[in-house]
Amino acid sequence: MTMKIGDIIAAKVTDENDHYYFAQVDGLTYQVDKQELTDPLTIGGLVSGFAYENNQHQLQITKNIPAVRLGHYAWGTVTDIRRDLGVFVDIGLPNKDVVVSIDELPTIKELWPQRGDQLMITLRVDNKDRLWGELISMEMLQAVRIPAKGDLKNKNVQATVFRLKMVGSYVITPDFNFGFIHPDERIREPRMGEVVQARVIGMRPDGILNLSLKPRAYEAIGEDAQMILTLLERSSDRTLPFTDKSDPVAIKRYFSMSKGQFKRAVGNLMKAGKITQDLEGLHLKTEG
């Protein structure tokens, strides 16, 4: 029997216990959490809400309708990662995160979304009645994008990475402006779903922004030092596993600079009192 899940349905209330009402549609029973309700339901009446299968594989209807539904796209937050399955995304359900399959994620797993990253998804139901998250297509994004306008040159913008290509990274701003980051304009390749702070370096005739993730050059500490400082600020633990004893090849690969440049930049930052260094690496010095 095919479940009705992933969208809003109406079901007939047939029973209740201390914690749930139970409602049926097409011979299937869905539970409704009483804690969600402001008014009691009536046995024999109808209840409508979003239908899904919860983490305990029980059919459930929630009155808290998520923005992400079948045919509806919205942002969800990555909550967990399973390398053999995909990433779990919170769309607002009380006891269920949906999975975006490994088949939709980058081949390089280091570029997979991490916890807290944002993905714009819809839902789909497979032939085994399982609910999955599905990334928004480029065609759908093109339909909702808004060309950037005005003089944004050298302005800072926040954007979320939604496509990774050999030619560069594609991002979208909260205003639904598209942006493109060429490999030459980034220190490292941002991962899918990562929210980045970028600088506008140009605008195409079609309103797509050309962006850079590289820091501006600051005379006080130099461009190399500013790059290291920016990476430390963006690191979740404000630490980078590199020291002046690190392998030159590893330094070149990560920072795109020679070991000599790295040592000079680290020295400048330490003299400026912005970082510390120990055997574990570089650490951003907190204010005060």
User: Looking at the structure, do residues 55 and 105 belong to the same domain, yes or no?
Assistant: no
- Closest of 120, 80, 74, 73 to residue 97, by C-alpha: 80
Asked if residue 201 belongs to a domain, the reply is: yes
**Residue range(s) defining the domain that contains residue 258:** 223-284
pTM of the model: 0.72
In the block, tokens 């594989």 appear at 57
CB atoms within 10 A of CB 127: 6
**According to the model, what pLDDT value does residue 288 have?**
46
H/E stretch holding 62:
strand 59-62
Asked if residue 100 belongs to a domain, the reply is: yes
Q: What is the dihedral of CA 35, 81, 91, 135, to 10 degrees?
A: -160
Asked if residue 45 belongs to a domain, the reply is: yes
**According to the model, what pLDDT value does residue 152 have?**
87
User: Looking at the structure, do residues 203 and 228 belong to the same domain, yes or no?
Assistant: no
User: Looking at the structure, do residues 124 and 78 belong to the same domain, yes or no?
Assistant: yes
Q: What is the C-alpha to C-alpha distance for residues 92 and 77, in angstroms, rounded to an integer?
A: 9
Asked if residue 14 belongs to a domain, the reply is: yes
Asked if residue 141 belongs to a domain, the reply is: no
**Phi/psi at 148 (5° precision):** -65, 145
Asked if residue 218 belongs to a domain, the reply is: no
**Phi/psi at 35 (5° precision):** -65, -20
* H-assigned helices in the chain: 138-144, 223-234, 248-255, 259-271
Asked if residue 151 belongs to a domain, the reply is: yes
Q: Which amino acid is residue 187, in one-letter code?
A: I
From first to last of its 288 residues, the chain has per-residue pLDDT tens of 467 899 999 999 999 999 999 999 999 999 999 999 999 999 999 999 999 999 999 999 999 999 999 999 999 999 999 999 999 999 999 899 999 999 999 999 999 999 999 999 999 999 999 999 999 999 999 998 999 988 888 899 999 999 999 999 999 999 999 999 999 998 889 999 999 999 999 999 999 999 999 866 544 467 888 889 899 988 889 999 999 899 999 999 999 899 999 999 998 898 888 899 999 999 998 764
Q: Which amino acid is residue 209, in one-letter code?
A: L
Residue 53: CATH number of its domain? 2.40.50.330
**According to the model, what pLDDT value does residue 35 have?**
94
DSSP codes joined into one string, 79-139: EEEETTTEEEEE-S-TT--EEEEGGGS-SSGGGS--TT-EEEEEEEE-TTS-EEEEEPPHH
User: Looking at the structure, do residues 202 and 228 belong to the same domain, yes or no?
Assistant: no
Residue 153: CATH number of its domain? 2.40.50.140
User: Looking at the structure, do residues 53 and 84 belong to the same domain, yes or no?
Assistant: no
User: Looking at the structure, do residues 151 and 101 belong to the same domain, yes or no?
Assistant: no
